[in-house]
Amino acid sequence: MKINKQTLIRWKIYFDRARMYIGYFQFVMLVIIFINSIKTNKYGKYLVEYSEISIPLLIILFIGGSLLLGYLDSRLGIRSEEMRNLSYHNPVQREMLDALNEIKQELKKKPGSGS
């Protein structure tokens, strides 16, 4: 049985995209489980009892925390370094980079190129 490489690549892309949406679903389920588990805690009872205040406050804290993490990631360059490494090891992008470097070398060799 011969396996089509393009089909496998397409399926992998589908799985990766689905994994992102499953992550959203898992996050919502985690929040629901967390809320159900804190109902038995004495502090959790206050959160549930005063949910008109606590839920918007928790949403604001979540958004603020997410923005802070995103800011720190931007300042430290973690994601950009990860993307640079992934791009470097991507065969198609690597081939494009090599071709670009060859073009640069050819332009440097030409007389009157200014470099």
Per-residue pLDDT tens over the stretch 66-102: 899 889 888 888 888 888 888 778 888 888 888 999 9
- Output the CA angle 103-104-106, nearest 5 degrees: 65
Does pLDDT of 115 surpass 70?
Answer: no
Can you read off the two tokens belonging to residue 76? 């430290």
- Reported as a single tens digit per residue, the pLDDT across 8-47 is 888 888 998 898 889 889 988 988 888 778 877 877 788 7
Can you read off the two tokens belonging to residue 72? 């720190």
Other beta carbons less than 10 A from residue 82's beta carbon: 11
Dihedral angle sign, alpha carbons of residues 81, 82, 87, 88? positive
CB 58 within 8 A of CB 44: no
For helices 91-109 and 78-89, give the axis angle rounded to 10 degrees: 80
